[in-house]
Amino acid sequence: MSSGMRSTVTLHVVSSLDGFIARTDNSVSWMDSPGDIYPKGVTDDGAEVIQSIDCYVLGSRTYEHALQLGWPYGDTPTVVITKRELPSTRKSVEFYSGDLKRLVDEVLAPRYKNIWLVGGAALGQSFLKLGLVDEIRLMIAPVTLGNGLHLFGNSGMEQKWLLKNVVAYRNGFVDLAYRRPPTDS
């Protein structure tokens, strides 16, 4: 567990119903809202959750894709994991290469409380394998993609997760929040 103040690492991604987080051609139109199709759902835009995020962590491929699509992380501090020398594009972005446990314990936890790991699949799987994920938040989009980039590969690790919250939206997206049982920490 992290030293200093208690921080939480949340793995957050949007997934298709069949478990993909990206199409093979990287296009993202599958994430478009189909409009109001579930009358019992809520319309909350998630602004409060976004406000509470202290830092984002992303893999280099997610970073490169985010730059192409239009930067969605505002001025919130963002750490990009890469072994390459990538051009620095924004003041809020820093790069990190090396041990991920050290990243969480020594670089992030002393500075940030609410840490959001926003993918991609490769980096998410590395964090999961190392037991560095405290919470998983999956936004399930109402679509099956058939192929693409799998969110979860073969981590070789069984892990139970406790359901923390479920929110169903009017547009048919469902937000599932899980936390790691406390005995694991």
The footprint of ligand NAP (CB under 6 A) covers 13-14, 21-22, 26, 58-62, 65, 81-84, 100, 118-123, 126, 149
Shortest reach from residue 91's CB to ligand NAP, in Å: 20
Quick one: three-class SS letters along the chain?
A: CCCCCCCEEEEEEEEECCCEEECCCCCCHHHCCCCCCCCCCECCCCHHHHHCCCEEEEEHHHHHHHHHHCCCCCCCCEEEECCCCCCCCCCCEEEECCCHHHHHHHHHCCCCCEEEECCCHHHHHHHHHCCCCCEEEEEEECCCCCCCEECCCCCCCCCCCEEEEEEEECCCCEEEEEECCHHHC
Nearer to ligand NAP, 104 or 118 (CB): 118
Shortest reach from residue 126's CB to ligand NAP, in Å: 3
C-beta separation of 133 from 127 below 8 A: yes
Cα 55 to chain centroid, rounded: 11
Shortest reach from residue 123's CB to ligand NAP, in Å: 4
Nearer to ligand NAP, 7 or 125 (CB): 125
Shortest reach from residue 39's CB to ligand NAP, in Å: 26
Nearer to ligand NAP, 40 or 84 (CB): 84
Nearer to ligand NAP, 6 or 32 (CB): 32
Shortest reach from residue 182's CB to ligand NAP, in Å: 26
Length of the chain, in residues: 185
Nearer to ligand NAP, 9 or 123 (CB): 123
